[in-house]
């Protein structure tokens, strides 16, 4: 009887945590979607900031879309932080750094803010808004389940998050490369985006966050260098985005194997084959 009561108590506690998780996630996701819904009705003056870097003039335009992207991304980060801090492991002090969970939801909101205005008609825009709400809720709940590696839903949640990281990375890489801005800005932005998403991908692979941070820095630098080189090549935005995604996949994959201490000759050969096949397909079809 004692074991039965204990089991029922554990199940009840799990159900309460699940309910609280969905409730917290629904609140901040609803606020973000509301902000995205009102974005077409908001008009603020555009500011242009010009400055000299390495002897050449560079400019940054702050429009309503960019300001709202920053605001809603901040809301996504604070909402995610609040959700993660409600986890029992945080209360017990076993997880100290919650900022590692911010990158994916924050950059997902940035991608949604930039992509939604590109919808050709209202039905597509509404569909995109609904899809954004669903994906943000999925990200929030999945990240909650990856706090504890012993969580029954950990593997499925981790798989879903990995797929979403690559999708968000592709979307942002296409937007950045397609903007055709100066290499100083586009390469720096790509490096920042790639590094942050790599942190979301490698989070939890190794207990040493500093070592993980080093690998994310390497990922960002590699993407920045590749972006700088790609800017001298007249490729379409999708081709450029796919090439950057291929580099992102290879560097983060090798980083993960390195963190797990499984990096050997066989692994290097496998990744080299993936690189050759992927590069060959992209160059052949050049989408």
Q: Give pTM, 2 decimals.
A: 0.89
Tens digits of per-residue pLDDT, 28-49?
999 999 999 999 888 877 777 7
Q: How far apart are CA 148 and CA 205, in angstroms?
A: 12
Name the token pair of 18: 């699940």
The predicted-structure confidence for 206-245, as pLDDT tens digits, reads as follows: 777 889 999 999 999 999 999 999 988 888 899 999 999 9
Query: pLDDT tens digits for 152-183?
Result: 899 999 999 999 999 999 999 999 999 888 88
Q: What is the DSSP string of 214-250?
A: HHHHHHHHHHHHHHHHHTTS---HHHHHHHHHHHHHH
Contact 249, 166 (CB under 8 A): yes
Beta bridge partners of 131: none
d(CA 37, CA 16): 31
Please choose, from the candidates 199, 25, 32, the residue with its C-alpha nearest in 3D space to the C-alpha of residue 104.
Answer: 199
Gap between the Cα atoms of 83 and 98, Å rounded: 10
Rounded distance between C-alpha atoms, residue 132 and residue 26, angstroms: 13
Q: Which residue has the higher pLDDT, 12 or 122?
A: 122
pLDDT of residue 5: 44
Residue 7 has pLDDT above 70, yes or no: no
Query: Could you report the per-residue pLDDT of 64-119, keeping only the tens digit for each?
Result: 889 999 999 999 999 999 999 988 888 776 677 888 999 999 999 999 999 999 89
**Structure tokens belonging to residue 179:** 């903007």
The set of long-range contacts for 149-156, using a CB threshold of 8 Å and a minimum separation of 24, is 149/204
Say if CB 84 and CB 147 are below 8 A apart. yes
């Amino acid at each position: 009887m004692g074991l039965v009561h204990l089991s029922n108590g554990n199940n009840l506690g799990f159900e309460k945590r699940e309910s609280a998780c969905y409730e917290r996630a629904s609140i901040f996701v609803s606020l973000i979607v509301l902000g995205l819904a009102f974005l077409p009705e908001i008009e603020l003056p555009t500011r242009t900031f010009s400055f000299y870097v390495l002897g050449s003039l560079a400019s940054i335009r702050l429009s309503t879309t960019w300001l709202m992207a920053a605001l809603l991304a901040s809301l996504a980060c604070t909402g995610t932080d609040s959700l993660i801090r409600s986890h029992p492991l945080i209360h017990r002090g076993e997880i100290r750094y919650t900022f590692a969970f911010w990158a994916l939801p924050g950059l997902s909101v940035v991608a949604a803010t930039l992509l939604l205005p590109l919808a050709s008609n209202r039905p597509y825009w509404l569909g995109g808004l609904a899809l954004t709400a669903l994906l943000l809720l999925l990200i929030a709940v999945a990240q909650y389940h990856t706090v504890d590696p012993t969580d029954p839903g950990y593997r499925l949640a981790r798989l879903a998050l990995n797929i979403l990281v690559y999708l968000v990375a592709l979307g942002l890489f296409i937007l950045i490369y397609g903007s055709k801005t100066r290499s100083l800005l586009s390469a720096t932005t790509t490096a920042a985006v790639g590094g942050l998403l790599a942190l979301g991908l490698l989070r939890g692979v190794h207990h040493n966050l500093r070592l993980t941070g080093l690998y994310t820095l390497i990922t960002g630098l590699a993407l920045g260098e590749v972006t700088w080189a790609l800017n001298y090549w007249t490729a379409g935005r999708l081709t450029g985005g796919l090439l950057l995604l291929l580099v992102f996949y290879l560097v983060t994959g090798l980083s993960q194997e390195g963190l797990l201490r499984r990096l050997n000759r066989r692994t290097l050969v496998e990744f080299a084959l993936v690189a050759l096949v992927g590069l060959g397909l992209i160059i052949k079809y050049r989408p």
